[in-house]
Structure 1
Amino acid sequence: MDPSLEDTLTSDPSTWVGSSLVSVRQITPSGLRLMFDVSQEMKTIVRLVGGDDRLKHKILANVFYEASTRTSCSFQSAMLRLGGRVVCIDQLNSSVKKGETLGDTIRCLENYADVTVLRHPIIGSAAEASTYAEKPVLNAGDGTGEHPTQALLDCFTIQDEFSGKGGISNKTVVLLGDLKHGRTVHSLAKLLARSKIPGVTLRYCSPDSLRMPEDVKREVAGYGLSQVEYVDLKEAVLGADVLYVTRVQKERFSRLDEYEKVKGSFIVDADLMSVAPKGMIVMHPLPRVGEIKEEVDKDGRAAYFRQMENGMFVRMALLALVLGRRCEPQGYQTKN
């Protein structure tokens, strides 16, 4: 990422207008607070009236070169709920099959759309795309690199789940599973560190071969955030506030036998929940492939479906901000 982009998105909405979002390093602590506020406004609007038309006549180009359900659909829903429209592009039905470069694809789409959402298998692709773009590019995941909008919705979910209880402040967050390949946990750890919210502690629990990368731990340590590694899941959740579960990413392994060795290393089930703190929530970026048993879904602490919906609110907020349509909420009074 271009170092000049770091710490550029602040509490001043004008800093977001026309900006690309390629990394959590762009988001300042005050910028994160603004995102919380606008996301809450969007949640209120959806709950009361379903949406509004602030992005009428705006078009989103949804470009996904890797499979996606939640990120792709939530960006589409976010744009539609704000009155905009969407064009969708994937690798199978685009000129990428003919050898078109990423730069040419981005330049092409800017002729038709006002903002581009990009998921790409190569680390740094979104940052590269932003150098060709005159309009905002939003990183929807670049290989095993970053997933900044997921980190935003994850932080918003923690803040929302613990509203009235200090939000994210003084919370212990356990990151579980494939921490080596998981761009969601990479971005979340970095954003929590950069947020400068007091009292946050990170615990890492993973198979030895899938530990959190050293470069991520160094970056987090640079902000003074406490990090502890665990090998026993029941020990890791003792006293925890958040258990953030990730799947072992089969598609990132070059050898199937290596995947098979670790795929069922940690399972969240009723037995684990019986020893977990009563106030601990369980999150997951989804999809899950057996690491959370369906029996957990009925537990009130299972927050992953609420987390999924929050993705739409956060992406509504992001689109409104980068397209200069934040707008102070009017006429959406909470009903008594």
Structure 2
Amino acid sequence: MNLPHLIDLDDLQVAQWEKLIMLAGEISKKPSDYFGRLSGKIMATLFYEPSTRTQMSFQTAMLRLGGEVIGFDNPQNSSVAKGESLKDTVKIMSGYADILVIRHPYEGSAKAASLYASCPVINAGDGGHLHPTQTLTDLVTLKQEKGRLTNLTIGLCGDLKNGRTVHSLLKAMVKFKGNRFVLISTEELRIPSYIRDILQANGCPFEEVFSLEEAIGELDVLYMTRIQKERFSSEEEYKRQNSIYTLDEKKLERAKLDMKIMHPLPRVDEIADAVDTDPRAIYFKQAAYGIYARMALILMLFDGSLPATAIPKPRTGGFSCLNLHCITQTEKYLPNLYKGSGDMLECEYCSQRILI
């Protein structure tokens, strides 16, 4: 049965993004008009890794809409600790709830969950891959705070390799005309090749630079990200990258007066506390917009405004995804799902390229 899911914003048309953004803006102006809309509905939140903002904003969104929330925020407190597969957990929980929200450390986990769920699934972050509801939040924030989603010079700084928020945002913003990107990172933390391919395929201008200080003056938006300790294989590797980029008052002296500073949070030390009082800093407002973005998404998944997600057909062949962080590495029963043609395929779960 085909159901509406949100695994990747690319599952939707830009016109549907715009409808979501518009509804979120309307909700933000008068949220009380939407209280109680989903009375009797149940959301299950399956959080296999830690979260504060994403988990609580989903819970807040559902509660404000009049629904109830069940689920877990630590897999060790569930049957996962006993060895239960993702498939079985999803089958059970989608029998209890009307909608599932899943966060998981392995890439492609939300796509895998959608194959077995009997209700809509929302991707709340799958490893270092995608985070579509954070991107929806970012689009709502930009629309409300900059007044447009076009003709922006956007700097993204920090862990661009593992930053799923970065990947999702880049994939989204290439769809709006006139946008340009400045990608600020170390050589080791550059964007993955599949994201670079998307930028090039869309004819979107971008440059990859090392210095935040030198780039900041040309930006309309600066999207800061933390160096993600949990994505590194060793403490030593993490320490080599940590604290390279810190936004402080001195660097802001070079920035435009109307530049907006965003961050998906949590932050560690990449934004100095003194920046919080700068009127250009909107990351706490950004977090608040996340509630309205998720309220809009939940409403549209329930009211039939979003289309059913196509179920990909398995492909045969003696090849497999080599990404060690792909969900297929741990959930061995999953069917082989690839897109593309010829000698170059892409894993349907994690977007890793496979040369056959």
- The TM tier, using the shorter chain, reads 0.7 to 0.9
Whether contact under 8 Å (1:267, 1:291) holds in the other structure is yes
Quick one: which amino acid aligns to residue 106 of structure 1?
A: V
**1:272-314 Cα distance to aligned partner (Å, 9 max, x none):** 1111110101000001000000000000000100100011000
TM-superposed deviation, 1:105: 0.7
Pick the aligned partner of 1:73 from 56, 73, 79.
56
CA–CA distance in structure 2, aligned partners of residues 32 and 177 of structure 1: 27
Any residues of structure 2 matched to 1:278-297 within 5 Å, and which? 278-297=257-276
Any residues of structure 2 matched to 1:247-258 within 5 Å, and which? 247-258=226-237
Quick one: which amino acid aligns to residue 74 of structure 1?
A: S
Q: Percent identity?
A: 42
Pick the aligned partner of 2:117 from 119, 124, 133.
133
Quick one: which amino acid aligns to residue 116 of structure 2?
A: Y
Q: Secondary structure at the match of 2:247?
A: coil
Whether contact under 8 Å (1:115, 1:135) holds in the other structure is yes
Pick the aligned partner of 2:145 from 133, 153, 161.
161
Pick the aligned partner of 1:177 from 153, 158, 180.
158
Confirm whether residue 38 of structure 1 aligns to residue 23 of structure 2: yes
The equivalent of 2:82 in structure 1 is 98
TM-superposed deviation, 1:176: 0.2
Confirm whether residue 209 of structure 1 aligns to residue 192 of structure 2: no
Whether contact under 8 Å (2:103, 2:123) holds in the other structure is yes
The equivalent of 1:23 in structure 2 is 8
TM-superposed deviation, 1:45: 2.3
Q: Secondary structure at the match of 1:209?
A: helix
Confirm whether residue 115 of structure 1 aligns to residue 99 of structure 2: yes
TM-superposed deviation, 1:51: 4.3
Quick one: which amino acid aligns to residue 271 of structure 1?
A: K
CA–CA distance in structure 2, aligned partners of residues 237 and 228 of structure 1: 13
CA–CA distance in structure 1, aligned partners of residues 24 and 71 of structure 2: 24
Runs of 4+ in structure 1 off by over 3 angstroms are none
Whether contact under 8 Å (2:95, 2:118) holds in the other structure is no
Any residues of structure 2 matched to 1:196-275 within 5 Å, and which? 197-275=176-254
CA–CA distance in structure 2, aligned partners of residues 180 and 239 of structure 1: 23
Quick one: which amino acid aligns to residue 164 of structure 2?
A: R
The equivalent of 1:192 in structure 2 is 173
Quick one: which amino acid aligns to residue 54 of structure 2?
A: T
TM-superposed deviation, 1:133: 1.2
**1:94-118 Cα distance to aligned partner (Å, 9 max, x none):** 1101111111111101121100000
Whether contact under 8 Å (1:50, 1:81) holds in the other structure is no
The equivalent of 1:151 in structure 2 is 135
CA–CA distance in structure 1, aligned partners of residues 169 and 142 of structure 2: 11
Quick one: which amino acid aligns to residue 209 of structure 1?
A: E
TM-superposed deviation, 1:24: 2.1
CA–CA distance in structure 2, aligned partners of residues 35 and 226 of structure 1: 27
CA–CA distance in structure 2, aligned partners of residues 180 and 266 of structure 1: 15
Whether contact under 8 Å (2:27, 2:33) holds in the other structure is no
Is there any run of 5+ residues in structure 1 with no aligned partner, and where? 6-17, 327-336
Whether contact under 8 Å (1:55, 1:325) holds in the other structure is no
CA–CA distance in structure 2, aligned partners of residues 240 and 270 of structure 1: 16
TM-score, normalising length from structure 1?
A: 0.88
Q: Secondary structure at the match of 1:220?
A: helix
The equivalent of 1:82 in structure 2 is 65
Q: Secondary structure at the match of 1:275?
A: coil
Q: Secondary structure at the match of 1:218?
A: helix
Q: Secondary structure at the match of 1:117?
A: strand
TM-superposed deviation, 1:123: 0.5
Q: Secondary structure at the match of 1:243?
A: strand
CA–CA distance in structure 1, aligned partners of residues 184 and 114 of structure 2: 34
CA RMSD, 1 decimal: 1.3
**1:184-204 Cα distance to aligned partner (Å, 9 max, x none):** 1011000111x2x21101110
**1:9-67 Cα distance to aligned partner (Å, 9 max, x none):** xxxxxxxxx41111122122111111111111211222xx3741110000000110000
CA–CA distance in structure 2, aligned partners of residues 290 and 50 of structure 1: 39
